[in-house]
Structure formats: C-alpha cells, structure tokens
Amino acid sequence: MPIAESELILNKDGSIYHLNLQPDHLSDTIITVGDPERVPSVSQHFDSIETKIQKREFVTHVGYYQGKRITVISTGMGTDNIDILLNELDALVNVDLVTREPRPLEERISLRIIRVGTSGSLQADIPVGSLLASEHAVGLDSLMQFYPLVETGLEVEVATGIQQALQLPYRPYCVRGSDLLREQIGFDMVKGNTLTCPGFYGPQGRVLRLDLRLPTLIQEFQQFRHHSAEGEFRLTNFEMETAGYYALGRMLGHEVLSLNAIVANRATREFATNSEDIINDLIQKTLDRL
Ligand code: R1P
Ligand code: URA
C-alpha cells in the first residue's frame, strides 16, 4: 500500500517535507549537529562542498572529506526534532518516493548516523573538555510513549530504577547505541551513559527563578547506580537528543552513535571558557575516523 500524501509529505520538487532533501543528498555516513552554525564548522574541513540546503533549523551541507562523501545536517534541539530527522532520513533511503512504497526488507539500507553535540557532565571525574561516547541513553522525554520500542532486561531495569529515584509518574526509556561505531570512532573517549532531558533548565536541575518539583534532582542523577552482571551503571552526562536517536535508530535499523563535547560540569559547577575548541576537537576526530 502506498503511503498517503498526508503521511509522507513531499515538497513540489520531490524533496522530503522538513529536511528539504532528495535521496541523492544522503551519503551512507551522516554527521548531525544541534546548532545550524556548527554545520559550516564541519564542512569547512571538506575538500569540496557539492550542495548547501536549508529549511527551518535543518541546514545540510554535502561534500567530500579526504575522498569520502559526507552529509552533515543540523537538527536544532530536542527529541521532537530527532523524530522528524530519523523518520525523514529513513524515508529518503527506505521508501520509494515516486511509488510511495516502503522498500522490501532485503533492499533496506542501514545508515551510519553520528551526533556531534555539546553536553553537561554529571560527575566530577568527567571534567569540562572531555569527549564522551554514549554507550546507553536514558530518555526522560515522552517520544517513546508513541512507539513500540523493545528494550532489553537491563535497559528496563535501569529505566525503572531511574523512575523510582526521580519519583516520576512514567517510566523513562533506556537504549544502547551502536557498539560498532563507538569502537571505531569513540574508542579513546570516555564511555558514558547519557541522560536525555526534555529541557535545558528544570529537567536538567537548573534553578533560575523557578523551584524544582524534586529539589534533589541533580543529586539523584549523580548518585543513581544500577548493578548487574555487566557491572555498575551510572549516569555520566546529559543533553537533549541522544535517547531519541538511539531508540529510533534501533527501530528503523540504523547504526547510531552520540558523541558529546563536555562543556559544563554540574558537579563542580564549571562552564568551559573554550567550548568552541572542545567541539572543534570532537569534529576533527570524528571526521578523521569515519
Ligand atoms: C542545549 O544547549 C543544546 O546543546 C546540546 C543539547 O543536546 C541541546 O541540543 O546539544 P547540541 O550542542 O548538539 O545542540
Ligand atoms: N547541553 C545540555 O543540554 N546541557 C548542558 O549542560 C550543556 C550542553
């Protein structure tokens, strides 16, 4: 059955609705960044840039880095944007946009998607300036209330423990990302478990003029531990997208890795004076290891 025009929306030129891209704009490896201004920070390293496209916060540059074709896309902030990003990227490769038919199973394409973002550390021993590769992500956002994500026993245990610690009325979700990509690109980075928050202030325990429902939120994040045969699980850092990437990546069959430039430390209350240098270091390492 073809997918209806109201569900898979195409622009007049045949490009997909929000990303504004055609299938041939995608390389098999895609770098994603939150900040649209970070796209040129990646593509400035390219040998040549073949295309630049923008719609809303989704800025895309396609080019070559040391002979390898790379697409870099900005996403803006939050897992609601990651829902758009992953569904539209997947449709570009796994749906025939002319017939509107999903491709048969044996023709499905698995993309390699690498998030290069900023993040706050939750632990004093992960200082500002660290580069961290997310092994697991825990989502405090509501995206997975709408999809049938299948989690492992360990993932359910961790998520349930966090629900109890934070006294949440709903269970967060927990998903492991691509070990393959983490071993290839993040092998010398801190291996972490990233908490994805549906906001930058209250949901990350920041108090400006509003009090928190749970005043000890940050301490609960910092002190949370889960012990299993795989060892000790602690939360290392937070940001606003990784769990959405990992969950949708698992369900759609793409390899996804989240890399984090630690620009804040919430245990020591520091913010980096050289955050641009830290993220540029992460961009350079990522490009060199693709
Ligand atoms: C908040 O300042 C933003 O920074 C982090 C968070 O996930 C959120 O998007 O990532 P980016 O630097 O990739 O945007
Ligand atoms: N991004 C976040 O979401 N939180 C931080 O503390 C830093 C970057």
Segment 61-72, tens digit of pLDDT:
999 999 999 999
In a domain, 7, yes or no: no
pLDDT score of 1: 87
What total of structural domains would you count in the chain? 1
SS3 281: helix
Mean pLDDT, rounded, for 134-142: 98
Using a pLDDT cut of 70, give the percent of the chain over it: 100
In a domain, 172, yes or no: yes
Mean pLDDT of the chain: 97
The tokens describing 225, both together, are 């531990």
- Rounded to two decimals, the ipTM of the complex is 0.99
249 CB near ligand 1 (under 6 Å): no
Q: How far is the CA of 119 from the centre of ligand 1 (A)?
A: 7
For residue 124, what are the CA distances in angstroms to 38, 128, 166, 217, 237? 27, 9, 21, 16, 11
80 CB near ligand 1 (under 6 Å): no
pLDDT surpasses 90 at 173: yes
Q: How far is the CA of 57 from the centre of ligand 2 (A)?
A: 18
For residue 190, what are the CA distances in angstroms to 134, 187, 211, 218? 8, 8, 32, 21
Query: What pLDDT digit, counting tens, does each position of 228-243 carry?
Result: 999 999 999 999 999 9
Query: What pLDDT digit, counting tens, does each position of 86-119 carry?
Result: 999 999 999 999 999 999 999 999 999 999 999 9
Where residue 230 sits, what CATH number does that domain have?
3.40.50.1580
In a domain, 189, yes or no: yes
In a domain, 10, yes or no: no
Residue nearest to atom 5 of ligand 1 (CA): 118
| Phi and psi at residue 179, to the nearest 5° | -65, -35
In a domain, 192, yes or no: yes
141 CB near ligand 1 (under 6 Å): no
Residue nearest to atom 2 of ligand 2 (CA): 239
The tokens describing 33, both together, are 């960044």
Q: How far is the CA of 64 from the centre of ligand 2 (A)?
A: 30
For residue 258, what are the CA distances in angstroms to 105, 183, 184, 281? 26, 12, 13, 15
| Phi and psi at residue 247, to the nearest 5° | -70, -50
279, 116 contact by CB (below 8 A): yes
Query: Ligand 1 pocket: which of 37, 122, 240 to mutate (most atoms <8 Å of CB)?
Result: 240
Query: Ligand 1 pocket: which of 72, 239, 257, 259 to mutate (most atoms <8 Å of CB)?
Result: 239
Query: What pLDDT digit, counting tens, does each position of 193-233 carry?
Result: 999 999 999 999 999 999 999 999 999 999 999 999 999 99
pLDDT surpasses 90 at 140: yes
Q: Please give the Cα distance from 77 to 189 (Å, whole number).
A: 23
H helices present in 128-260, as ranges: 153-166, 179-185, 217-223, 242-252
Question: Parallel, antiparallel, or unpaired: how do β-strands 48-55 and 255-265 relate?
Answer: unpaired
Range of the domain at 254: 23-289
For residue 155, what are the CA distances in angstroms to 14, 25, 143, 160, 251? 39, 35, 16, 9, 15
| Phi and psi at residue 9, to the nearest 5° | -95, 130
In a domain, 2, yes or no: no
In a domain, 52, yes or no: yes
Q: How far is the CA of 101 from the centre of ligand 2 (A)?
A: 39
Q: Please give the Cα distance from 146 to 82 (Å, whole number).
A: 14
